[in-house]
Structure 1
Amino acid sequence: METKLAIITDIHGNSAALRAVLDDIDRNNPVEHIYCLGDLVAIGHETNKVLELLFSRNDISYVMGNHDEAILNIMKGKEPGSVGEEKEHHQWIASQLDKKFIPALSKIPKKLYAEYNGKKLLFVHYHLNEENQFIPIDQQPTIKKLDELYKTSDVDVVCFGHHHILHHFRSKERLYINPGALGCYHKPLAPYAILNIGAEGISVTFKEVAYDNREFLLAYDKLKVPARDFILRVFYGNQHLQFN
């Protein structure tokens, strides 16, 4: 019997993109479970809409992202680990967060393991070191480097996010996948992945769902979101300029 899972990551406070993906999953790709690989909030400004949508469901499991961790640190009176304009942005996001979500956010772990049809899966926001901290992003990942990172792990699949571009590597040891950032893209498309796990093997399908991002992008200026010029340029390719 084949098991179908959905993998989403890096929603980044973009409720329009998240709703489009969840609707697509429910309508076209019904799955046994959804795994969300962190960075639910920050960069995007729709913090409470995203968390309301996610936590209203009982079919999603989560791992902690670096932005989620930064916002929680602020809520706990700690330093977020960011500086300059990014820190100002994190402080603004934290100020918008409905405190009712803090208990659920605080319970999210850094890693999750699961097993389906005899296949072992690991879910992380990004690769972790021995101190359970995220390592720097590898801009040129390879199968060899990934196998070296996970040489002591007995899992068959590693699912991760953080690096916003799609990754699909298959070695003799295991499958590595990152579906790409659901909420941050230079096009009005929201990516995610479907993982099919059967007795014979594992396959992955990468999906992109079109959605209307006009209101979301124009709201950065209306809300005076800190670091908005940098965010709109780097994470969205200045798509908002076409609406002016």
Structure 2
Amino acid sequence: MDMKYGIISDIHSNLEALNIVLDYLKRREKIDRFICCGDIVGYGAKPNECTEIIRQLDNCYTVAGNHDWGTIGLEDTSFFNPIALAAVEWTGRHLTKDNRNYLEKLASQIEQSNFLLVHGSPRDPINEYIFEERTFLANLPRIKKNICFVGHTHVPLCFYAKTPQDIEGIPLDDGTVLEINPSYKYLINCGSVGQPRDGDPRASCGIYDADTNILRIKRIDYDVAKTQEEILSAKLPTPLAVRLGYGR
């Protein structure tokens, strides 16, 4: 069955951004199914609200991210920087039992007929960052599907291989239209909903039409100031609020 997918990742407890993105994908794009590449929680002030929204999306493939499992003790967070660690510990104290149970049961990867879904990378689904072609190349033997959707870096980009010797990487800016070649292997990161790090503070998401094999990137404005106020009111580290204004 042909499907139109809405691709989201790295929500990081940013309720304002999540609501805006989901509203756009549902109303404007008429999405059939969602793909969530992990890190629903962490950094932001609304972990329960965001987790409950994703839980209630019965048409959503969702995998665990390092913050999702870190907040409930399933991933080592000792190497986190002090700000990230403070946010993880705060989130762990505030999550409800039901939401903790939901995060605990998330898979580290999901395979469908034409795509693989992980947070980090195929060889390390939770923790590995893919910024460079050499890291993509190292993971290429594990990409058995046409597309591997990832998150984790908060930077929208695509690597693709015509052959293991012919690899290219391209940024995925707002409005990018990518034609998926069924004979290539792709690793696609549609960016972050809740904490972009590419210098653009707008929420980022992707739309993948499996019928036409077209992927598009969409950036959407949301109420950054309100989200910043929520972070400060929760007494989370101030830099977590400040960075949202810069998209870094």
One-letter amino acid of the structure 1 residue matched with residue 208 of structure 2: L
**Separation in 1 of the partners of 2:21 and 2:108?**
23
Q: CA RMSD in A?
A: 2.4
Q: Secondary structure at the match of 1:171?
A: strand
Number of aligned positions between the proteins: 224
1:228 is matched with which residue?
A: 238
Please report how far the alpha carbon of residue 152 of structure 1 lies from its aligned counterpart in structure 2 after TM superposition. Answer: 4.1
Please report how far the alpha carbon of residue 54 of structure 1 lies from its aligned counterpart in structure 2 after TM superposition. Answer: 1.5
Compared with structure 1, are the counterparts of its residues 238 and 23 closer, same or farther at alpha carbon in structure 2 (3 Å cutoff)? closer
Please report how far the alpha carbon of residue 235 of structure 1 lies from its aligned counterpart in structure 2 after TM superposition. Answer: 4.8
What do residues 131-182 of structure 1 show as CA deviations (whole Å, max 9, x unaligned)? x6522x244x22x642431224321101001011111233223122111011
2:84 is matched with which residue?
A: 86
Q: Which runs of 5+ in 1 are unaligned?
A: 240-244
Contact 1:184 1:236 in 2 (8 A): no
Q: Which runs of 5+ in 2 are unaligned?
A: 163-183
**Separation in 2 of the partners of 1:16 and 1:203?**
28
Compared with structure 1, are the counterparts of its residues 38 and 72 closer, same or farther at alpha carbon in structure 2 (3 Å cutoff)? same
1:45 is matched with which residue?
A: 45
What do residues 106-146 of structure 1 show as CA deviations (whole Å, max 9, x unaligned)? 1101110011xxxx20000011437x6522x244x22x642
TM-score, normalised with respect to structure 1? 0.82
Alignment of 1:10-159 (within 5 A): 10-73=10-73, 80-81=77-78, 82=80, 84-115=82-113, 120-129=114-123, 134-135=127-128, 137-139=129-131, 141-142=132-133, 145-159=135-149
Q: Secondary structure at the match of 1:24?
A: helix
Structure 1 range deviating more: 6-15 or 85-94: 85-94
The question of 1:195 aligning with 2:188 is answered no
Please report how far the alpha carbon of residue 62 of structure 1 lies from its aligned counterpart in structure 2 after TM superposition. Answer: 0.7
**Separation in 2 of the partners of 1:232 and 1:112?**
32
Please report how far the alpha carbon of residue 223 of structure 1 lies from its aligned counterpart in structure 2 after TM superposition. Answer: 1.9
1:4 is matched with which residue?
A: 4
Contact 2:119 2:150 in 1 (8 A): yes
One-letter amino acid of the structure 1 residue matched with residue 204 of structure 2: P
Higher-Rg member (1/2) = 1
Compared with structure 1, are the counterparts of its residues 212 and 232 closer, same or farther at alpha carbon in structure 2 (3 Å cutoff)? closer
Compared with structure 1, are the counterparts of its residues 208 and 45 closer, same or farther at alpha carbon in structure 2 (3 Å cutoff)? same
Contact 1:157 1:175 in 2 (8 A): yes
**Separation in 2 of the partners of 1:50 and 1:68?**
12
